Chains A and B, each alone.
Chain A
Amino acid sequence: MNIFRFLGDMTHLISILILLLKIYATKSCSGISLKTQELYALVFLARYLDLFTDFISVYNSVMKVVFIASSLAIVWCMRRHRVVRRSYDKELDTFRHYFLVAACLALALLVQEKFTFLEVLWAFSIYLEAVAILPQLVLLQRSGNVDNLTGQYVFFLGAYRAFYILNWIYRYFTETHFSRWISCVSGLVQTALYADFFYYYFISWKNNSKLQLPA
């Protein structure tokens, strides 16, 4: 495992911790898209079924369990927690995420490494992860003002993707048989979706002002 991959995993972990911190400390999930969180839970459940079939390392297995558990916990809090669920911006979070699920499933049935149950689910999870942030970005755009922790959450999620791209470039040059083009193409799409957000994030950081997205 190279440094970029490790930094990618760590920024991913930090983003989840920031989200949990926000929900725990403020007892609020305003500005957070439940649809995006549900998609992530689905992504992790579909991809990490290989916990039962393939063992790579203790690190990998622990991270997989952490990602599944934390994403389910977040969804549970937003839907069921007596206090937290009241702050959910339901009327702003109207992205029709079922279409994303259907489109990604169709694509996974057409394009995958091998037509087996686990491989289709794996490709599905990769495609879905690439677009899972869309409901969140739409929600932020609609609400205009982005609170500090929510902004940091999305920033770290984007940083995770950027580090993964560096990781693939590194692997491409250092490993002889590294070819995982489904991940790489999807990863590039996913990172590109953050470009706009990053632009406004850096502007607000440079001007030391509150993060605001144009309507």
Chain B
Amino acid sequence: QVQAPPKDEL
């Protein structure tokens, strides 16, 4: 299971 990237956009 690949960790989802952080939600760094607005």
Residues of A in contact with B (beta carbons under 8 Å apart): 5, 9, 12, 50, 54, 56-57, 60, 63-64, 67, 113-114, 122, 164, 167, 177-180, 183
Contacts and interface: CB of A to CB of B under 8 A. Distances in A.
Contact of B8 (A12, A56, A164): A56
A103 B10 CA distance: 22
14 contacts: A5-B9, A12-B10, A50-B7, A54-B6, A56-B6, A57-B8, A60-B8, A64-B10, A67-B10, A114-B4, A177-B5, A180-B5, A180-B9, A183-B9
Interface of A is mostly: helix
A212 B3 CA distance: 48
Interface of B: 2, 4-10
B4, B5, B8, B9: most-surrounded residue (chain A CB, <10 A)? B9
B2 to A, nearest CB: 8
B10 A63 contact: yes
A183 B5 CA distance: 12
A114 to B, nearest CB: 7
A179 B7 CA distance: 11
CB-based closest 7 A-B pairs: A56-B8, A113-B4, A63-B10, A177-B5, A9-B10, A56-B6, A60-B10
Contacts of B5: 177-180
A209 to B, nearest CB: 34
Contacts of B2: 177
Contacts of A177: 2, 5
B5 to A, nearest CB: 6
Contacts of A167: 9
Contacts of A5: 9
Nearest to A13: B10
B1 to A, nearest CB: 10
